Structure 1
Amino acid sequence: MTLNNLKSPKGAHKNIKRIGRGQGSGQGQQAGKGHKGQKARAGGGVRTGFEGNNLPLYMRIPKKGFSNSPFKVSYAEVSLSAIEAKFDSGEVTRELLVEKGLLNGINKRKPIKVLANGELKTALTFVNIDKFTKSAAEAVAKAGGKIETK
């Protein structure tokens, strides 16, 4: 192999479409833009949703009601079975849940809710955990644990 017979591998180089460079290129004359009009002009075209002399759909449909979604509180959910697997005894706090890998990503900052999936056999003290399901709170009490809030 020498410099005069070097070649790119097949499919590595694709010829670019040279628009508006004469009839021989196959993209001459109107350069693939058809005949005149708004879409043929430089910077031409219409915005998304534009309907040309009609009121656009997004303006025609009724806007009513109220959505509480911007104010909705979403919780990082942790199951009792996961806590049972990672904790032997002692306290359960946000910092320890993060350290043991039960909370990661955005869930590190969200308020925590404990779900009653699985059983709790060890007596654990939950410190500053935001919410418990009824059955989770009962399971903690049944196991001899405590729930301490702020």
Structure 2
Amino acid sequence: MDLHTLKPAEGSTHRKLRVGRGRASGKGKTSARGQKGQMSRSGSTHKPLFEGGQMPMARRIPIRGFKNINRKEFAPVNLAALDKFDDGAEITEAVLREAGLVKGRFDGVKILGNGELTKKVSVKASAFSAAAKEKIEAAGGSCETV
């Protein structure tokens, strides 16, 4: 494939519609612009979302709440997912990413208490839920907040 052989996909391009070429063309007389008004005149345009001078929808709707730009977002990992690691393993964020349990951009990893843990593992994460910490320590493992 070369640049000079490229063509648009079949059916993706259309012939330009020639308006204002007589009544028989189907787009004659007012040329699909209607009778009168701003948009029937030649050269008329207005900004997107312009509502003819009335207060625009984007400004009528109230703003609710607050967005914290310094918020930390943690990737959630359940205890059931940690059970696939070997007994005595040290689990860090890098190990979880390698195993495919954490994908994407996050500020850290939070271990949640959903599921059961049967192996003794050492977990290093940004945060732990109370239930997760309890279950990891009950299985003989250790939790370390990084």
TM-score where L is the length of structure 1: 0.73
How many correspondences in the alignment?
134
More helix by share: 1
RMSD: 2.8
* 1:1-150 mapped onto 2 (5 Å cutoff): 16=15, 17-40=17-40, 41-48=42-49, 50=51, 52-60=52-60, 66-85=65-84, 87-89=85-87, 90-106=89-105, 109-127=106-124, 129-150=125-146
Q: Name 2:8's counterpart in structure 1.
A: none
Q: Provide the C-alpha distance between the structure 2 equivalents of 1:34 and 1:97, rounded to a whole number of angstroms.
A: 62
SS in 2 for 1:105: coil
Q: What are the superposed Cα offsets for residues 21-52 of structure 1, whole Å, 9 maximum, x if unpaired? A: 222211012210113422123352454152x3
Q: Provide the C-alpha distance between the structure 2 equivalents of 1:148 and 1:13, rounded to a whole number of angstroms.
A: 57
The sequence identity of aligned pairs, in percent, is 32
Segments of 5+ residues of structure 2 without an aligned counterpart are: 1-10
SS in 2 for 1:140: helix
Give runs of ≥4 in structure 1 deviating > 4 Å: 12-16, 60-63
Task: Read off the aligned partner of 1:115 and give its amino acid letter.
Answer: L
Q: Provide the C-alpha distance between the structure 2 equivalents of 1:13 and 1:58, rounded to a whole number of angstroms.
A: 34
Q: Provide the C-alpha distance between the structure 2 equivalents of 1:121 and 1:13, rounded to a whole number of angstroms.
A: 58
Q: Provide the C-alpha distance between the structure 1 equivalents of 2:145 and 2:120, rounded to a whole number of angstroms.
A: 17
Q: Provide the C-alpha distance between the structure 2 equivalents of 1:62 and 1:79, rounded to a whole number of angstroms.
A: 38
Q: Provide the C-alpha distance between the structure 1 equivalents of 2:107 and 2:12, rounded to a whole number of angstroms.
A: 49
Task: Read off the aligned partner of 1:95 and give its amino acid letter.
Answer: A
Q: Provide the C-alpha distance between the structure 2 equivalents of 1:35 and 1:62, rounded to a whole number of angstroms.
A: 37
SS in 2 for 1:126: strand
TM-score where L is the length of structure 2: 0.74
